[in-house]
Amino acid sequence: GAFEQPRAVAEAIQPHIDLSNFTVAMSGVGFDTKKVFGEIERIFIVACGSSYYTALVGEYMIERLARIPVECDIASEFRYRYPVFPKNSLLISISQSGETADTLAAVRLAKAAGVKVLSICNVRNSSIDREADGHLYMNAGTEVGVASTKAFSATLALLNLLSLATAQAKGKLTVIEEADYVRQLQAAPAQIETVLNLDKFFKKAASTLKEFKGFLYLGRNVHYPIALEGALKLKELAYMHAEGYAAGEMKHGPLALIDKNMAVVMLAPRDELFEKSLSNLEEAKARGGQVISIGTGANARLEQISNHYLVLPEAGWFTLP
Ligand code: F6R
């Protein structure tokens, strides 16, 4: 069903958090996460499609909290690019099905080079799951639709946990910070529910947008990969042309395409990059573009510049994606 995401996220995180003290306690992974995460100096994340976009969000989270360099690759590129694995590397594969051939090949390549592999997967005992050294499960239930939805959200939640567990192992997280992040994560399922209940907004926006010839999805930081995912979902489900870009790249080419037939979908939560996103919207508007923005809280300036403004529940960078 369409509204399974809150439950999927709750079930992905449940095995790995201790609610008595709001700590992350990675369990059932198959290796000693404290030891392995404490030793690693480089993380590679490989995946395809939507799973690759979750990888990009994971890169922002892990680098920000754990200060370990992370490199993300599309599996079909990685496997043929003769990658270099420095010592103490960990490869994380992300695959809902656990059967994507390129991702499996990337896992095999890493294993052959002696690199430890942690799989994030939905299907237990799938090919990738069987070959990995460590396992995190989305617990999202069977993905029936062609387009990944609940598995996407469940994966983001696991990457939240992974960023906390690696930060913890590297001594980069105080007990107070950890508890705060765990509380934020714990609050996410109810917030997702709130967003899903805004279906009236979506119906109204969709009815005015269906005539457009194209959509440009923009975001910054953790919201940039979400913009990529938004564009992919529109292509797959509405058969409409959409592109995702880092908002800062708008002026480096795609601006030329913006006119009254083009909608700009801006992910613009109130954060330290908000003013930059707002100025992107001013440029888009000046060229006649339609603006759909997604933000947090009442925001008069954003509302004023937008044809449609979707308000998300207040949340920080960690869980907004
Ligand atoms: C998009 C979608 C695909 C998959 C991709 C990888 O909605 O579902 O892009 O994300 O084919 O699949 P998995 O995660 O099974 O390896």
pLDDT band per the 50, 70, 90 thresholds, residue 52: very high
Does residue 35 carry a pLDDT above 90? yes
94 CA closest ligand 1 atom index:
14
Mean pLDDT computed over 207-231? 95
Q: What are phi and psi of 193, to 5 degrees?
A: -55, -45
Gap from CA of 52 to ligand 1 centroid (Å): 8
pLDDT band per the 50, 70, 90 thresholds, residue 185: very high
Half-sphere exposure of residue 267: CA atoms within 13 angstroms, side-chain side: 23
The pLDDT assigned to 1 comes to 47
Nearest to 218 by CA among 301, 150, 282: 282
Q: What is the pLDDT of residues 116-166, one digit of tens each?
A: 999 999 999 999 999 999 999 999 998 887 788 899 999 999 999 999 999
Mutate to test the pocket of ligand 1, among 76, 127, 148, 226 (most ligand atoms within 8 A of CB): 148
Mutate to test the pocket of ligand 1, among 100, 122, 233, 237 (most ligand atoms within 8 A of CB): 100
Q: What is the pLDDT of residues 70-80, one digit of tens each?
A: 999 999 999 99
Least confident span in 96-110, 136-150, 180-194, 219-233: 136-150
- Mean residue pLDDT of the chain comes to 95
The pLDDT assigned to 208 comes to 86
Does residue 309 carry a pLDDT above 50? yes
C-alpha distances in Å from residue 28, one per residue of 16, 134, 136, 169: 9, 9, 8, 17
Residue ranges around ligand 1 (CB below 6 Å) = 48-51, 95-97, 100, 103, 147-148, 232, 236
Q: What is the pLDDT of residues 258-303, one digit of tens each?
A: 999 999 999 999 999 999 999 999 999 999 999 999 999 889 999 9
Half-sphere exposure of residue 258: CA atoms within 13 angstroms, side-chain side: 24
pLDDT band per the 50, 70, 90 thresholds, residue 2: low
Q: Which residues contact 150 (CB under 8 A, 6 or more apart)?
A: 4, 5, 8, 9, 140, 141, 143
pTM for the full model? Answer: 0.97
Distance CA 228, CA 231 (A): 5
Mutate to test the pocket of ligand 1, among 79, 97, 124, 149 (most ligand atoms within 8 A of CB): 97
Gap from CA of 317 to ligand 1 centroid (Å): 24
Does residue 66 carry a pLDDT above 90? yes
